[in-house]
Amino acid sequence: MANNEDRGHEHSHDHSHGHSHEHGEMSELSNTQLRVRSLETVLAEKGYVDSAALDAIVEAYETRIGPQNGARVVARAWADPEFRAALLEDASTAVNTMGNVSPVGSHLIAVENTAERHNMVVCTLCSCYPWEVLGLPPTWYKSAPYRSRAVLEPRAVLSEFGVSLPEETEVRVWDSTAETRYIVIPERPEGTEGWSEEQLAALVTRNSMIGTGLAQRPDEIAGDS
């Protein structure tokens, strides 16, 4: 059952891309994109879906719902110990208390990186991903090599992402499903004492919330501010 639901979101994801970028380029469409386009046309003609509503959803995920939402969540967890505790206890409920972040379903789990343990997220089956807090999944997240190697050789994968961890740090890999999605709370970089949530959020990268990256250090973003 989970598998079927999951395939469902894969398809809607493909749809998102085909639909939003390919207007006027029919000859460039792949077979899958053509089939998606045809299905949407049939469903719209029969009145089952509203193409404008689909466009609005696609546009929201492409422009408004992205890793910046997760970054705000992480920044608040760093700055506010009570929120951090609530997030680790029940991430869906905690995120839903933040008015400026899209509501999430009842499936979100936050896992916290420490010196002892580094968390990394994969969906071995397909591409389950916490869309509401991280936006669209990166292509590599959906790739077969990442999905298999993240479990078999997580340290090798991490090093390819430029992350090297001390030997003594345990690497824990979490397998997402349609029912359960994960967000990693990366370690708060040193030298950020007293920073505002907004300043902190600028250090939180998408990959750091998947566990294939670390939060940026203040000197890494010095040019931005």
Positions marked catalytic = 123, 126-128
Shortest Å, Cβ 193 to Fe ion:
38
**Alpha carbon distance 106, 194 (integer Å):** 32
Residue window 99-128: x/- pattern of binding to Fe ion, with contact defined by CB under 5 A: ------------------------x--xxx
Q: Which is nearer to Fe ion, 150 or 201 (CB)?
A: 150
Q: Which is nearer to Fe ion, 13 or 118 (CB)?
A: 13
Beta bridge partners of 121: 174
The count of C-alpha atoms lying within 13 angstroms of the C-alpha of 172, restricted to the half-sphere facing its C-beta, is: 12
Rg over alpha carbons for the chain, rounded to the nearest Å, is: 19
CA-closest candidate to residue 9, choices 57, 47, 46: 57
Binding range to Fe ion, per CB under 5 A, among 1-9, 15-23, 139-147, 216-224: 1-9
Q: Which is nearer to Fe ion, 128 or 201 (CB)?
A: 128
* Cβ 102 vs Cβ 84: under 8 Å: no
Shortest Å, Cβ 62 to Fe ion:
20
Buried-state track 37-72, b at ≥16 Cβ within 10 A, e below 16: beebeeeeeeeeeeeeebeeebeebeeebbbbbbbb
Q: Is 168 exposed, middle or buried (0-12, 13-18, 19+ CB in 10 A)?
A: exposed
Residue 61 CA, chain-centre distance (Å), reads 11
Q: Which is nearer to Fe ion, 6 or 132 (CB)?
A: 6
Shortest Å, Cβ 52 to Fe ion:
28
**Alpha carbon distance 8, 125 (integer Å):** 13
Total residues found in the chain within this entry:
225
146 counts as binding Fe ion under rule CB under 5 A: no
Position of minimal CB gap to Fe ion: 128
Shortest Å, Cβ 72 to Fe ion:
25
Residue window 59-98: x/- pattern of binding to Fe ion, with contact defined by CB under 5 A: ----------------------------------------
Q: Which is nearer to Fe ion, 111 or 128 (CB)?
A: 128
Give me the residues that bind Fe ion (CB under 5 A), please: 6, 123, 126-128
